[in-house]
């Protein structure tokens, strides 16, 4: 464990060269991923096939030598485990049955029943624990409750999370009951991931930025705090990364307020500002714009150097500000790492 750079950064160590991995590093920009997904048949079949899910998790490690592997799964497996219908439309993304009233909520399963449905995910983690190189850390993850709820309420991704805001404002008891159910299920899910061998877990709150004022505190920060407290009670030595994407100035103090060991920053957060206001509280992760993985060139080199320098005074994990996109060039990923480690 002491040799794993990611774990050292999460423990608060300032490293000359920060550890690096990428959100969605196992994915559609890699030809080997496309081949494995075709072998699985479809996206969900790939998520629930432990051998193939482990294979696509390992592919970017073999190709690039990242310092961490992140479990291949999807944040919407939790809604499916709770009883929601889930399917993916090619070229458009996920679709779910919707929860918009008390009857819809009442049809959901209890949080502590999710494990049978999610057992293939735990098996994937066990395979990875055996097969990953000894210096590569294994990251488990889940979606944060607000973000997962936005999909469960709308039945799909939306540009402004409008349906979730409408339920929040129009039927607060059902909205809060749904958030609580997701929170409870997420605690169970991440705890089981840790038991299976995940060394770090991350909470993705991809739509936290659409919560304003007290709503951010109540529905982004507080559920994250609750999940982290429960996980720390069961697994006190497991580091936790929180990613409230779009938080802006609300990134300040988010780590101490939630108990997160590291706060991941989106690409819209200035690195020098974050070094002053966020990194002072501990490890930060980020935050290269994913577009550089498409365009490459000297702009990519310059930006990698700038971010590395900005965060050189404290613990830092190098990453993108959001997930790598399908049109990214793998050669640019290699250039990113070469520049970072030069």
**Cβ-Cβ contacts under 8 Å for 97 (sequence gap 6 or more):** 84, 85, 86, 155
In sequence order, the 6+-apart residues with CB closer than 8 A to the CB of 312 are 14
Active-site pick, 37, 63, 95, 156: 37
Catalytic entry in 67, 74, 205, 261? 74
* Residue 305 annotated among the catalytic residues of the structure: no
Which of 33, 122, 151, 189 does the annotation list as catalytic?
151
CA distance 180 to 184: 6
How many angstroms separate the CA atoms of 203 and 55, rounded? 23
Looking up tokens 């030809």 gives 31
> Which residue of the set 8, 24, 181, 245 is catalytic?
24
DSSP assignment of 155-217 equals: SS--SS-HHHHHHHHH-HHHHHHHHHHHHHHHHHHHHHHHHHT-SEEEEEETTGGG--THHHI
Q: Return phi, psi of residue 93, to 5°.
A: 110, -165
- Going by C-alpha positions, the residue among 176, 183, 243, 248 that lies closest to residue 209 is 248
User: Is 234 among the catalytic positions?
Assistant: no
Q: Give yes or no: 172 in active site.
A: no
Handedness of CA 26, 58, 289, 248 (dihedral sign): positive
Residue 24 a catalytic site member: yes
Q: What residues have CB less than 8 Å from 124, skipping those under 6 apart?
A: 50, 53, 54, 57, 71, 72, 73
74 is a catalytic site residue:
yes
Query: Which residues are catalytic, by number?
Result: 24, 28, 37, 74, 151
């Amino acid at each position: 464990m002491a040799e794993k750079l990611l774990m050292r950064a999460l423990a608060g160590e300032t490293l000359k060269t920060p550890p690096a991995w990428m959100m969605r590093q196992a994915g559609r920009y890699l030809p080997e991923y496309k081949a494995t997904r075709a072998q699985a048949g479809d996206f969900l079949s790939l998520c629930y096939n432990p051998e193939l899910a482990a294979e696509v998790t390992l592919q970017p490690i073999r190709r690039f030598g990242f310092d961490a592997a992140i479990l291949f799964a999807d944040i919407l497996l939790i809604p499916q485990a709770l009883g929601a219908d889930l399917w993916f439309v090619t070229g458009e993304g996920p679709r779910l049955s919707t929860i918009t009233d008390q009857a819809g909520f009442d049809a959901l399963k209890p949080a502590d029943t999710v494990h049978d449905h999610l057992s293939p995910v735990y098996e994937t983690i066990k395979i990875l624990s055996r097969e990953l190189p000894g210096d590569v850390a294994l990251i488990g993850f889940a979606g944060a409750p607000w973000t997962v709820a936005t999909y469960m309420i709308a039945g799909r991704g939306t540009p402004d999370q409008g349906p979730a805001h409408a339920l929040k404002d129009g039927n607060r008891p059902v909205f809060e009951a749904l958030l609580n159910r997701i929170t409870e299920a997420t605690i169970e899910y991440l705890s089981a991931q840790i038991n299976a061998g995940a060394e770090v877990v991350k909470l993705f709150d991809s739509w936290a930025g659409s919560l304003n004022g007290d709503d951010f505190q109540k529905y982004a920060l507080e559920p994250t705090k609750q999940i982290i407290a429960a996980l720390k009670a069961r697994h006190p030595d497991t580091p936790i990364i929180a990613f409230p994407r779009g938080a802006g100035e609300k990134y300040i103090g988010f780590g101490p307020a939630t108990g997160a060991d590291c706060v991941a920053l989106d690409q819209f957060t200035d690195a020098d500002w974050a070094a002053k206001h966020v990194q002072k509280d501990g490890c930060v992760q980020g935050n290269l714009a994913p577009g550089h993985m498409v365009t490459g060139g000297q702009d990519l080199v310059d930006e990698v150097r700038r971010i590395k320098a900005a965060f050189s005074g404290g613990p830092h994990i190098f990453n993108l500000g959001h997930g790598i996109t399908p049109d990214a060039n793998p050669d640019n990923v290699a250039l990113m790492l070469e520049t970072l480690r030069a």
